[in-house]
Structure 1
Amino acid sequence: MIVPLKRLLGEGFRVFFLAAGLYGVFAILVWTGWLGIHAAGGSFADDPFAMPPHLWHAHEMIFGFPTAALGGFFLTAVPNWTGAKAARHLYIGAAAALWLAGRIAIWFSADLSPVFVAVVDLSFLPFLGMKIATQLVKRPKPQNMMFLGLLAIIWVGDWMIHLEWIGVTDDTAWAGFRVGLFGICAMIAVLGGRVTPAFTRNALMRKGQETALPVSRRWAEMTGVGGAILLPLALIVGMPETVTGGIALMTGAAQIVRLSGWRSVHTLGEPIVWALHAGFALLGTGYILFGLADLGIGSEIAALHVLGIGAVGGMTLAVMSRAALGHTGRPLVAPHAVAFAYALLPLAALLRWTASSLDFQWYYPGIFVSGALWIAAFALFVAALWPAFWSEKLRSGGA
């Protein structure tokens, strides 16, 4: 058991991607289970967490599940970008323990001091940020250093929530949830905007295609990235909804224009590539729906779930599975179970959007089926890639 555990903690993607997959299943099982009991007319006498269940759900799906994926990504990618030494077992184990401690503190927050809960929950991102900062300064390119700022934005969103839960403020949690989500979406706008066309180009060239390769439009790149960063900042300072709605519409349109140049139709035969395109498409769609909701058209909650399920969930699943295969020497071909999981998340996002946008009679069926699809997708991911997380790297296969 010691050797497999040492291997699990030997590379950041192993423990954190596995944690993200497992927690993605657990958190939605808890949420849909609670909703099912509530829909049937039942209730719990006491919840272990101090906040209402829907806020526990929102917090953990923004600051729990995705931050594990970010930890695995940055601890793996940054050393490759900079040539710095990768984090060692002790650091990776400590970071994973700190992330887990945050989840436990939130879960048992009803019996803990809110200040203690805040301190524990808010510790992981700075701990991660300090490590990757020491690696980034080895080769301090602005396009990479900016990720420290995006991590800070996500952290500020969580801090705003805890300020209200502690009792320091009266109305910062609502904005904090959105700041955190849109901070993560900004990560996707930047990282997804890099890897999606690059991996698509590589896949097409491997097939011998020399024309109709992905192209970038500079104005759309600048608008899509700039708007994605500007939106959570506007939410932090409390800009009016007409302003945030306009920013979101502009940002979403820019993402769709960016995607239109990346030859999505040519990737349909390679699930591990088209999954990136699907996640990015839902990113742009979610921004547009949120912008319309801020201007009084449509449901904001529905728009936020398109972003959370389709963009964050979809892009996270696509990147984690690709990285896990590639960094363990396996072929960059999605196992059938993972390819099926890719298809489940866009459908889950559509059903969740429908549940909040249409007649109330579809609310619970839409949520339960959407939740089941999410659970199935991440359960398939964990099951299919379990050997990759625990086993030695293969000598040949992925890049």
Structure 2
Amino acid sequence: VLLAVAAAAAREIVAGRNWRNLKVLLPLAILACANGAFHIEAHLQGTSDISRRLGMAAAIVLISLIGGRIIPSFTRNWLVRENPGRLPAPSDRFDTASIAISAIALGAWTFVPDNSISGMLMAVAAICQAWRLSRWAGERTLRDPLVLILHLAYAFVPLGFAFVSASIFFPAAVPVAAGLHTLGTGAVGAMTLAVMTRATLGHTGRELKAGRGTSFIFVAVLLAGALRILAAFVSSGAVIDMAGAAWMAAFAGFLLIHGAALTTPKAR
């Protein structure tokens, strides 16, 4: 399935001559390879640690690439219209360097997760990604949940890098699971829901506005991420259950609120 997605993306890129999006194909291909490697590694080794980290790394690189394009763009559009003032910084060499450093750090973590060099690279990536996010003027979007959620979801990326780094240098204080769940439940989960919601509204002709129901599912997915991170520290089954309940509420809520838009004619 992932290879089919990559092939479909490649076809659209070539057909539209949108060559700058070719870079998206590499993490998609790596994600597909990680999926296959998962089964091979589990069969041969009885574990799937490397392939799971590789898959996570590919997903975070995708978020860095695509999020780094759409978040400043959507933020700029909203601010120009609704809250003139400081705008997101345009993409420059710092953004390119941040993505490159993050990819290198994730690669090192994938194959040598306990190495101090991996920890240092993750720490540098955390700083770069945090500074990158701060340049996008997210604090000026508090009045629009549909834009704000993109910034909050992306915030899990530098936080995840920081937790991974801390778990390498201070394993007694910061469990490995903290970084994994910050990147997975937090960054991947929240960003997926945020983009799904915005794309559903935009591509079905609905108004780009978050109602109470949509705001609720955004809060739910952020709560799920926060609780799952907390559970890594407190080892509480109850906290894990609450995180799972919040996660289900977020995605089931999306289906209930926006499912009809995906199965009915486009609004005019």
Please, what TM-score do these two structures have when normalized by structure 1?
0.63
Q: Which residue of 1 aligns with 2:98?
A: 224
Deviations 1:94-118 (A, max 9, x none): xxxxxxxxxxxxxxxxxxxxxxxxx
Pair 1:131 & 2:8 matched: yes
2:130 pairs with one of 256, 269, 293: 256
Q: CA deviation at 1:247?
A: 2.1
Larger Rg, first or second structure (1 or 2):
1
Q: Which residue of 2 aligns with 1:291?
A: 165
Q: CA deviation at 1:241?
A: 2.4
Q: Which residue of 2 aligns with 1:268?
A: 142
Q: Tell me: CA distance 1:236–1:355, structure 2 relative to 1, closer, same or farther (3 Å).
A: closer
Q: Which residue of 2 aligns with 1:202?
A: 77
Contact 2:75 2:136 in 1 (8 A): yes
Q: Tell me: CA distance 1:230–1:143, structure 2 relative to 1, closer, same or farther (3 Å).
A: farther
Q: CA deviation at 1:284?
A: 1.3
Q: Which residue of 2 aligns with 1:166?
A: 43
Q: 2: CA distance between counterparts of 1:276 and 1:220?
A: 20
Higher relative contact order (CA 8 A, sep 6+): 1
Pair 1:152 & 2:25 matched: no
Pair 1:340 & 2:216 matched: yes
Please, what TM-score do these two structures have when normalized by structure 2?
0.92
Q: Which residue of 1 aligns with 2:229?
A: 353
SS in structure 2 at match of 1:137: helix
Q: 2: CA distance between counterparts of 1:240 and 1:370?
A: 27
1:176 pairs with one of 51, 63, 85: 51
Q: Which residue of 2 aligns with 1:369?
A: 242
TM alignment of 1:57-68, pairs within 5 A = none
Aligned length: 266
SS in structure 2 at match of 1:352: helix
Pair 1:394 & 2:262 matched: no
Contact 1:216 1:258 in 2 (8 A): no
Q: CA deviation at 1:234?
A: 2.9
Pair 1:246 & 2:123 matched: no
Structure 2: unaligned runs, 5 residues or longer:
none
Deviations 1:281-315 (A, max 9, x none): 11111111112112234111122111111111111
Q: 2: CA distance between counterparts of 1:265 and 1:166?
A: 47
Contact 1:163 1:172 in 2 (8 A): no
CA RMSD of aligned residues (A): 1.9
Q: 2: CA distance between counterparts of 1:350 and 1:208?
A: 29
TM alignment of 1:113-132, pairs within 5 A = 124-132=1-9
TM alignment of 1:2-81, pairs within 5 A = none
SS in structure 1 at match of 2:15: coil
Pair 1:381 & 2:258 matched: no
Q: CA deviation at 1:245?
A: 2.0
Q: 2: CA distance between counterparts of 1:140 and 1:249?
A: 37
Q: 2: CA distance between counterparts of 1:130 and 1:352?
A: 34
Deviations 1:50-106 (A, max 9, x none): xxxxxxxxxxxxxxxxxxxxxxxxxxxxxxxxxxxxxxxxxxxxxxxxxxxxxxxxx
1:192 pairs with one of 62, 67, 91: 67
Q: Residue type matched to 2:153 in 1?
A: G
Contact 1:299 1:356 in 2 (8 A): yes
Q: CA deviation at 1:344?
A: 1.8
Q: CA deviation at 1:214?
A: 1.1
Contact 2:83 2:140 in 1 (8 A): no
Q: Tell me: CA distance 1:372–1:303, structure 2 relative to 1, closer, same or farther (3 Å).
A: same
Q: Tell me: CA distance 1:237–1:151, structure 2 relative to 1, closer, same or farther (3 Å).
A: same
Q: CA deviation at 1:164?
A: 2.1
Contact 2:57 2:110 in 1 (8 A): no
Pair 1:302 & 2:197 matched: no
Deviations 1:209-243 (A, max 9, x none): 1x211114735312321123223433555476222
Q: CA deviation at 1:249?
A: 1.6
Q: 2: CA distance between counterparts of 1:157 and 1:172?
A: 13
